[in-house]
Amino acid sequence: MKIAVCVKRVPDMDARFRISADGTSLDEAGLKFDINDFDAWAVEAALQLKEKAGQGEVVVMSLGPVAAQETIRKALSMGADRGIHLAADRIPFDGFAIARALAAELKEGSYDLIFFGKMSPDSSNGIVGPIVAELLDYACVTAISGLEMADGRGTAKRELEGAQEFVEFTLPAVLTVDEGLNTARYPSLKGIMAAKKKPLESKPAQLGDTMVTIKSLAMPPDRPPGKIVGEGAAAVPELVRLLQTEAKVL
């Protein structure tokens, strides 16, 4: 089975973000970057399938500046076989543009399965995987938290609001990964050494025109300062009064 995994390099969300002078991007100075968590689980899922089958290839792809190669290396050190870097000065906000560039490259690979994380916390759109599926005319199952493959078919579990869905799908397919599917392995020292010698090809991303652009970034408005109503059960009557008269939610 030939499997591709698309991964994104994202900033650590614990950081204090600053807006650049241009007002439309974030100042990257001092930010720590790593592979998107959902994408790490996607890599893990692909590796587990390959290991279970005892054969196959896992190709990791990432679009972005040269630093995206570090993210690809991380996936290679987890055990993926080779990497493809689609070079772009920056990762556009327009998920359609990203999907178009990835699909153009993925089309060449004739993959049986293509994994994505269900979303990335930075741009928070969660659209690239399913758009790629449409562009390649693959079956698509999003936000999976369970996966079984047998006889060229798959069964996946999805968490819906207040319900669970079990779906059956045919190959080739695009799958996007939710939390709970697995726990991503840490790269071993041996894996890290081996990754340095694994093939990593870099080529320009075919981004095309973007339809969605960031006009401005702003910090969210501060919530009006709250108050400590009191301590212990004695504070309950006053809280209830405030919820009724001030917040009007009770």
Partner 1 sequence: MANIFAFAEQRAGELRKVALENVTAARALADATGGEVHALLAGSAGIAQKAEQLGKHGADVVLVCEHDALKDYNAEAIAALAADRIKSGGYRVAVFSTSAQGRDLIPRVAAKLGVGIVTDVTDARIEGDAVIVTHPVNIGKVIATASIASTPAVIGLRPGNTTLVENAKAARVEQVQPVGDPSASRVKVKEMKQGTSAKLDIGEAPVVIAGGRGLKSADGFKLVDDLADAFGNAAVGATRAVCDDGWRPHSEQIGQTGRVVSPDLYIAVGISGAIQHLAGMRTSRTIVAINRDKEAPIFKIADYGIVGDVAEVLPALTAAVREARKSH
Q: For partner 1, give the closer residue by CB, 54 or 220.
A: 220
- For 44-108, the DSSP string reads HHHHHHHHHHT--EEEEEEEESTTHHHHHHHHHHHT--EEEEEE-SS--S-HHHHHHHHHHHHHH
CB of 247 closer than 8 Å to CB of 227: no
Number of residues in the chain: 250
Nearest-5° Cα angle at 39, 214 to 128: 45
Q: For partner 1, give the closer residue by CB, 36 or 69.
A: 36
CB of 28 to partner 1, least distance (A): 12
Q: For partner 1, give the closer residue by CB, 81 or 112.
A: 112
Tokens 């020292």 belong to which residue? 189
Q: For partner 1, give the closer residue by CB, 46 or 174.
A: 174
Q: For partner 1, give the closer residue by CB, 65 or 191.
A: 65
CB of 87 to partner 1, least distance (A): 23
Q: What residues pair up with 26 in beta bridges, in sequence order?
A: 19
CB of 129 to partner 1, least distance (A): 8
CB of 236 to partner 1, least distance (A): 4
* Pick from 124, 118, 126: nearest CA to 144: 118
- The two structure tokens encoding residue 23: 């007002």
CB of 203 to partner 1, least distance (A): 23
Question: In sequence order, what are the residues at sequence separation of 6 or more whose Cβ sits closer than 8 angstroms to the Cβ of residue 71?
Answer: 7, 8, 9, 33, 34, 35, 62, 64
Q: For partner 1, give the closer residue by CB, 54 or 221.
A: 221
* Pick from 35, 21, 114: nearest CA to 67: 35
Q: For partner 1, give the closer residue by CB, 57 or 159.
A: 159
CB of 197 to partner 1, least distance (A): 33
Q: Is 163 helix (H, G, I), strand (E, B) or coil?
A: strand
* Pick from 24, 238, 37: nearest CA to 118: 37
CB of 17 to partner 1, least distance (A): 5
